[in-house]
Chains A and B, each alone.
Chain A
Amino acid sequence: MVQRCELKVAAISKVAVFGLDCLEPSLCFERWIEDLPNLRALMQRGTWGRMTSSMPPVTVPAWSCMTASKDPGTLGIYGFRDRKDRSYDGWVICTSLRVKEPRLWDILTQQGKDSLIIGVPETYPITKPIRGCMITSFLTPTTKDPSIQYTHPPQLRREIEQLVGEYMVDVPMPRGGDKQVILDGIYTMTRRRFDVVRHLMCTRPWDLMFMVEMGTDRVHHGFWSFMDPQHRNHVPGNRFENAIHDYYVEVDRQIGETLAKIDLQTTAIWVVSDHGARVLHGGVLLNQWLMQQGDLVMKAPPTPKQKFDAKDVDWSKTKAFASPGYYGQIFINLKGREPQGVVEPGNYERYRDDLIRRLEAMPGPDGDPKGGGGWGPNAQVGNLCHTPQVGNLCHTPQVGNLCHTEGAGLREGGAGLRPASGPPALRAGAPLGNKCHKPDAIYKTCNNVAPDLIVILGDLGWRASGWLGSDSIYIYDDDAAAEDANHAQEGMYLFAHPTIQGRGRADGATLYDVAPTILRELGQPIPPDMQGRPLHE
């Protein structure tokens, strides 16, 4: 746990937050710290460490959890796409319209404070004008269509476009796309966003600046295999081996350039990520597994690589189905709740516990009698021999190939890579290391339609895939999705305060602690229903 400072903090005039989606603590605090002079300087005078993300550790809902200090259940937002109702095919993309709880800028607006909010997920569409300026996030459909309002006030759009040209909310990441084009796009997006941030900070009144840069997430998902010898597709000496490192250096440079515009005597500086990053080994076909287990029954045997579709399911015989993503959601077909529910309410908990037992006992691919299978070009038994599993089994924190040191203070050099030969193979039949969570047990309440189970596959080393029609439940090189990196449960935080002596490393914060701490720094009351605690009293 974070040792909380006993000092009373004098309220300061401003707080600037650099949100870096998916920034991985082992990379920025350890491995590359010598190459990141601006982060290093903040760490030397501040407090920093690993920060536990929301469950699930996914951009949506994580940033809303952080800025509202409310868990996903309270927000009623469980991922990018949630069930709209209890129908089998009603889904909704979680935009700002789903966020009903006040976030930092809503609270500050009520207190007469000005905010600059740039790129924070779940801010589009703009429904409630704030005091200050807002530029919406990558969930904005496009900035090219004049009818789409991505700024507040609306006329800010013209000013931004005069400054940087097209404002990029995101960068296209087509599967199989030209990597150099993608990388160039990430750099352009980031530079333009930071240019806009600096412009707004210099031309508008503000008490809080909160920006989120998505490039850090995109570079992980697009380039992790080029960096990490533990990724099955890694080729030593490839031309993108340093792509993530070099991009971290660029982000650090952009932060430094922005800090030069800020009065550090009156402004607290934050750098935060919503979750970390780690190598992704492949996908688990969760609906295929449910079929094999007899929980899910299709009307007809699926054809190879058939997409899961509710209309193909024999609901009268189906007890559970899954929704895929970087983690898995399992929904139970409960009688009286779902339209054609079959699980008796009296058997619900027993059945759910049985599902957990089976999911957590799921054998890894080396223990799979079918030898892993999959559809990708590398989906052969030989490739599976070095499928890394260490992180899954011994719960080594974060990126499997990086050591994590708990010691306090900045240290030299950072952790090195393990040998390129990779970790030991998984013992035949050993479990993948899945972990299931009951939403009603981990959240304060469950609004909207929560999944019955949240499934973290192999310590996030595996993603959940929705395809059917394979002998094996494992899939590699899925052409439907980026396959380089997954999220890690712990992100990072760092704050440097003008009047607080930094305490160096202090792991154990949660992302729910960020909003109450910022409110305290701005001398504002902390709403009693916030679920985090200030990191200093």
Chain B
Amino acid sequence: MSAKESTRRNNVTLKIPGELYDHLQSLIEGTGFRSVTEFAIYVLRDVAAGGKLDDASPGLSQREIEIVRQRLRALGYIE
């Protein structure tokens, strides 16, 4: 069995900084998450569900462009 196939069946270990682990532990206190691992899996699944990391903001809306344009005009960068 290849290493790739084995990761499909078994859990693997991810290393995160101890400081971050402690911080996450205090964050989940009083929540429904029973462990940092459970919380991390939840967050990572949520991120992975997006499909990809880039192009999160494809562009500016017309309203956003107008706000920026007015600011640049007041500053003298454009007319």
Contacts and interface: CB of A to CB of B under 8 A. Distances in A.
Instruction: Tell me whether A and B are bound partners.
Output: yes
Interface of A: 58-60, 79-81, 93, 95, 97, 125-129, 138-139, 141-142, 148-149, 170, 172-175, 205, 218, 221, 307-308, 324-326, 463, 465-467, 480-483
Contact of A93 (B55, B57, B68, B74): B68
Contact of B72 (A81, A128, A205, A467): A81
B73 interface: yes
B73 A141 contact: no
10 contacts: A93-B68, A93-B69, A95-B60, A125-B59, A127-B57, A141-B60, A142-B67, A218-B75, A308-B79, A465-B79
Contact of B76 (A142, A148, A482): A482
Interface in B30-79: 53-57, 59-60, 63-65, 67-69, 71-79
B17 interface: yes
Contacts of B17: 205
A264 B73 CA distance: 41
Interface residues of B, number: 23
B78 A325 contact: yes
Main secondary structure of the interface of A (DSSP, over half): loop
Listed from nearest, the 8 A-B pairs whose CB atoms lie closest are A125-B57, A481-B76, A141-B64, A141-B67, A80-B77, A466-B79, A482-B76, A81-B78
A164 to B, nearest CB: 21
B75 A482 contact: yes
A467 B79 CA distance: 9
A126 B56 contact: yes
A434 B53 CA distance: 47
B17 to A, nearest CB: 7
B68 A139 contact: yes
Contacts of A467: 79
B75 A221 contact: yes
Contacts of A324: 78-79
Interface of B: 17, 53-57, 59-60, 63-65, 67-69, 71-79
Contacts of A149: 56-57
B77 A325 contact: yes
B72 A80 contact: yes
B74 A173 contact: yes
B74 to A, nearest CB: 5
A217 to B, nearest CB: 8
Contacts of A465: 79
Contact of B74 (A58, A126, A174, A466): A174
Given A79-B77, A465-B79, 13 more contacts: A80-B72, A81-B78, A95-B68, A127-B56, A127-B57, A128-B54, A139-B68, A141-B60, A221-B76, A324-B78, A325-B79, A466-B79, A480-B79
Contacts of A483: 76
A63 to B, nearest CB: 14
Given A80-B78, A148-B64, A126 B57 contact: yes
B73 A170 contact: no
Given A81-B72, A127-B56, A141-B60, A326 B67 contact: no
A97 B59 contact: yes
A172 B74 contact: yes
A126 to B, nearest CB: 6
Contacts of A170: 71
A313 B21 CA distance: 64
Contacts of A59: 77
Given A221-B76, A325-B78, A141 B57 contact: no
A172 B70 CA distance: 10
Contact of A141 (B55, B68, B75): B68
Nearest to A481: B76
A315 B17 CA distance: 63
Given A128-B54, A129-B53, A149-B56, A58 B64 contact: no
Nearest to A175: B74
A138 B5 CA distance: 48
A309 to B, nearest CB: 11
Given A126-B57, A141-B68, A58 B79 contact: no
Contacts of A93: 60, 65, 68-69, 72
Given A97-B59, A125-B59, A129-B53, A307 B79 contact: yes
Given A127-B55, A127-B56, A326 B71 contact: no
